[in-house]
């Protein structure tokens, strides 16, 4: 197995492990935001942002060598609106975008990576 193939396979394994954790973190954020516990929600926000960045990069890099069904553009199209909501501290909009736009993409990818 070539080094690139091995790295791609390892990255796909990491994505497979990470996606369910990311989804749980999003659900925790949404729960806090819905209950108006903004301080608790803030604790999850940086992890969500870092996680989304890692997922987009990992999917992009693996697709270069082993094109799959995951398309990082699905998330990239949503992120500007999410980042605007973050900058405006709009927890309702953040939780809606996470729940109705980002989480479904991650759930779909979870099913595709398995």
Q: What is the pLDDT of residues 58-108, one digit of tens each?
A: 999 888 888 888 899 999 999 999 999 999 999 999 999 999 999 999 999
Tell whether 51 is covered by a domain.
Answer: yes
Tell whether 22 is covered by a domain.
Answer: yes
pLDDT at 85: 97
**What is the band of 1 on the pLDDT scale with cuts at 50, 70, 90?**
low
pLDDT at 35: 93
pLDDT higher than threshold 70 for residue 43? yes
Tell whether 114 is covered by a domain.
Answer: no
- Domain of 69 in residue numbering reads as 3-109
SS3 at position 2? coil
Mean residue pLDDT of the chain comes to 93
């Amino acid at each position: 197995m070539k080094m690139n193939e091995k790295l791609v396979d390892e990255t796909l394994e990491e994505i497979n492990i990470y996606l369910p954790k990311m989804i749980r973190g999003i659900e925790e954020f949404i729960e806090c935001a819905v209950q108006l516990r903004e301080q608790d929600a803030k604790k999850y926000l940086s992890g969500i942002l870092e996680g989304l960045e890692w997922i987009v990069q990992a999917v992009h890099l693996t697709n270069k060598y082993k094109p799959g069904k995951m398309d990082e553009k699905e998330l990239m199209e949503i992120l500007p609106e999410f980042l605007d909501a973050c900058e405006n501290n709009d927890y309702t909009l953040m939780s809606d975008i996470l729940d109705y736009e980002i989480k479904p993409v991650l759930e779909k990818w979870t099913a595709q990576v398995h």
